[in-house]
Structure 1
Amino acid sequence: MKPARILWLTSLALVSLVASAQTNLPAVKVTSPAYSSQHGGYLISGDFRVDPRMPSVVFPAQALMKDDILSIEPIHLQDNEYLVLQECASTDCHEASLVRFWKSDDIGGDDARRNRVWITHENKYFIWLKRLPEVSGASCGQGWLMFEPRTTKCGSHFTSFQQISPPLMLIPDGDLAAFHQDAVLKSIQADPVRVAQQTHEGSTYVVTYEGGSTVRIRRMHAEHEN
């Protein structure tokens, strides 16, 4: 393993250890359904909210149940922003598991399946927005010229992340992260982007973050299941 890669992994381990000791997600009370409608055998709900103690995090007001479908549709994201869906990976939620993430390249198109998450088990899920360093499509340092055969192109976005991390932490891995390790280490310790505005459009929850990025969120629950 290359020395730079070893240093990168060691640095990430230290950051994760510190964050796990500092991050505590508040309890969220389950309330009666609100902002709901029925369609096609599903109860569709936009009952999501931001906990005042954590102004960057969106929670469902009712716990998500097995076989629910969570619709998360980013309308606008900056090039350096990543929308994140995590779930608790431990009883005290000092560890979280990455369920799905969205970047600016994932917006639009006719295929809506990318924006739908099938919930396979009840748990605490939360949605937040993270800014990471802007990266270009240039190489990861192997070769100086774009046309040189030894050049490794890494793309313009991070596409690989650690599956398990402290909550509210998105940790890139892979060659692109290692090449930009100083900037990445600084950014992953920064707070998530704060919510600037939240509203309901019928049974759809609409959240706007500082900087203007907007996301539409709905929960779909089969009406014949309790």
Structure 2
Amino acid sequence: MKTTGIALSGWLALAGFAASAQTELPAVKVTAPSFSSQRGGYLISGDFKVDPRMPSVVFPAQALVKGDILSIEPISLQDNEYLVLQECASADCHEASIVRFWTADNIGGDDARYNRVRITHENKYFIWLKRLPEVSGQSCGQGWFKFSNDTTECGSHFTSFQQISPPLTLIPNGDLAAFHQEALQKAMRSDPVRVRQQAHEGSTYVVTYDGGSIARIQRMHATRGNPQDQQ
């Protein structure tokens, strides 16, 4: 498989989200060494970073390409936190698309495959953490009496979001969102959670956010001779 990376220069013009009028990630010059190992026909890389000019955004130092597998494993998330993987949905990245998100509900499950995202096309991908209002698992505000037949169970997390939005913007939809509109409007005006610390543990990138939430991130890239490399 021949890989052609997207040039990192000027690659993520993050603009137009509610927290500010315009936010841009300037050209990034990658100088860090590759934190990688080789296993099972894959090059395992933890070569991710946070640019100090965009202190809440984690991105791969090498552009992700078709056939890559991105592993994102949240170790701890607060009940009001959502770890988000987005990709650019327009050439200038004024629009982005949700690829996957994680909440405290789906951490530590037996199926680790949920933490793995197969990259189907080369693009600009980025990872960030957002805090939204805490919600009650009792209902959406209907049928508050214990034995009411019209109680609507809505869960304790938002589970449905607008697919396309400005980057670094997470817009819940559905019944639960409708019932919490006022709190959501306030939350969407706030910035994503800042990265407090980043480190490399071998070929794993470990990011710690303000508040203590942690995620472990790897990129798996098929090496020559791997049968999947020919797919």
TM over 0.5: yes
Q: Distance in 2 between matches of 1:211 and 1:154?
A: 26
5+ residue gaps, structure 2, are: 1-15
Q: Is the 8 A contact 2:204 2:218 kept in 1?
A: yes
RMSD across aligned C-alpha pairs, in angstroms?
2.0
Q: Distance in 2 between matches of 1:53 and 1:32?
A: 17
Paired residues for 1:1-226 under 5 Å: 22-29=22-29, 34-224=34-224, 225=229
Q: Is the 8 A contact 2:83 2:127 kept in 1?
A: yes
Q: Is the 8 A contact 1:19 1:166 kept in 2?
A: no
| Structure 1 counterpart of 2:13 | none
Q: Distance in 1 between matches of 2:93 and 2:20?
A: 9
Q: Is the 8 A contact 2:80 2:134 kept in 1?
A: yes
Residue 79 of structure 1: how far off its partner (Å)? 0.5
Q: Distance in 2 between matches of 1:115 and 1:150?
A: 36
Q: Distance in 1 between matches of 2:218 and 2:126?
A: 13
Give the letter aligned to residue 142 of structure 1: Q
Residue 104 of structure 1: how far off its partner (Å)? 0.4
Please give the per-residue CA displacement for 1:172-223, whole angstroms capped at 9, x wherever unaligned: 0001011010001110121000000000000000000000000000000000
TM-score (normalised: structure 1): 0.88
Following TM superposition, where does structure 1 have runs of at least 4 consecutive aligned residues deviating by more than 2 angstroms?
16-33
SS at match of 1:22: coil
5+ residue gaps, structure 1, are: 1-15
SS at match of 1:79: coil
Q: Distance in 2 between matches of 1:193 and 1:160?
A: 20
Q: Distance in 2 between matches of 1:73 and 1:100?
A: 12
Residue 52 of structure 1: how far off its partner (Å)? 1.0
Q: Is the 8 A contact 2:18 2:188 kept in 1?
A: no
SS at match of 2:109: coil
TM-score (normalised: structure 2): 0.86
Q: Which has the higher helix share?
A: 1
Please give the per-residue CA displacement for 1:151-189, whole angstroms capped at 9, x wherever unaligned: 111110000000000000111000101101000111012
Distance change (3 Å), C-alpha of 1:74 and 1:35 = same
Residue 145 of structure 1: how far off its partner (Å)? 1.6
SS at match of 1:99: strand
Distance change (3 Å), C-alpha of 1:85 and 1:146 = farther
Residue 144 of structure 1: how far off its partner (Å)? 2.3
Residue 17 of structure 1: how far off its partner (Å)? 7.6
